[in-house]
Amino acid sequence: MAGEKLEGLLPGELRLLVENMALKEQKLPLEPALDKETGEVIPEQEGCIVDIEGSVSKALQAEEGDKLELLMRAIPSRYSSRDLQKITLSRGYYETWFTGTYQRYTNVSLACSSVNNSLLWPGQEFSFNETVGPRTPERGYMPAPVFLMGASELEYGGGGCQVATTVFNAAGKAGLKIIERHLHSRRVHYVAEGKDATVSYGDLDLKFSNNTGSPLIIKAGINRGKVWVNILGEED
């Protein structure tokens, strides 16, 4: 890669020039990802870093007036598209029966769409609130019943707790490490007592980590009267 002209620079000045250029030219690799809507794999991208010692050495041997040529080294991503294509085995599946109004159905569907096709790298933490985001009318959420202090009230995003509960139980079946989880103030109808998880954006969250040695993909949806979550991993 061509840069500035070499015009009587001292070795120390040359090194400083190379180091400054290196900061601008280096690029971190991008890991493969999933398209949230289609689930298709987005290929990884190589990064690059400047070989400072090699670039300085080459520049010291150049003629005055030549342009500085930086020597680049490729940095591969840690994972590849092939790693994601191997994630086909169900590690934890759970489903809950859905009942409720059109508003509640809308909220559950939106939350499932946000969770669906989530990619979790080894050691990475999943946060329901970060993944789903604020449940506001601007984002399409509607008022539906929620439990607050033991009473049922209307709140935007009501129904999201059923999605969180389904995710929680799927994560448990997958053997993932639960970091944060909260019970409702009273029993809910869609899961056995003590198996629920309540969430509230900016307050109560559901968090767990990928304590396996491979990436995981979280699938979620609502179909035929059931909210379902399937956590996929690699075969042993």
pLDDT recorded at residue 13: 78
How do residues 166-199 score in pLDDT, each as one tens digit?
999 999 999 999 999 999 988 899 999 999 999 9
Encode pLDDT of 107-124 as tens digits: 999 999 999 999 999 999
- Six-digit token pair at 59? 């520049």
**149, 185 contact by CB (below 8 A):** yes
What is the H or E stretch that residue 217 is in?
A: strand 216-223
**For the chain, how many helices (H) and strands (E)?**
6, 15
User: 122: buried, middle or exposed (CB in 10 Å: 19+, 13-18, 0-12)?
Assistant: middle
Please tell me the distance from the alpha carbon of residue 186 to that of residue 217, in angstroms, as a whole number: 31
Q: Which residue has the tokens 């489903």?
A: 95
pLDDT tens column, 37-91: 999 999 999 999 999 888 888 877 777 667 778 889 999 999 999 999 999 999 9
How much is the pLDDT for 149? 46
Nearest alpha-carbon partner for 77 in 117, 44, 38, 37: 44
107 contacts 144 by C-beta, under 8 angstroms: yes
Confidence of residue 205 (pLDDT cuts 50, 70, 90): very high
Domain definitions of the chain by residue range: 2-83, 87-234
Q: Is the pLDDT of residue 7 over 60?
A: no
- Which of 18-22, 60-64, 70-74, 156-160 has the lowest average pLDDT? 60-64
How far is the C-alpha of 99 from the C-alpha of 110, rounded, in Å? 16
Phi and psi of 226, rounded to 5°?
A: -135, 140
Q: How confident is the model at residue 148 (pLDDT cuts 50, 70, 90)?
A: low
Amino acid at 22: A
Q: Does 146 score more than 80 pLDDT?
A: no
Three-class DSSP category at 9: coil
Give the model's pLDDT for residue 154: 74
Burial of 66 (0-12, 13-18, 19+ CB in 10 A): middle
pLDDT band at 14 (very low <50, low <70, confident <90, very high): confident
> Average pLDDT, whole number, for the chain?
90
Q: Does the pLDDT value for residue 147 go beyond 80?
A: no
How many other CB atoms are there within 10 angstroms of residue 123's CB atom? 10
Q: What integer pLDDT is reported at residue 75 of this predicted model?
A: 96
For the residues 87-102, what does the mean pLDDT come to?
A: 95
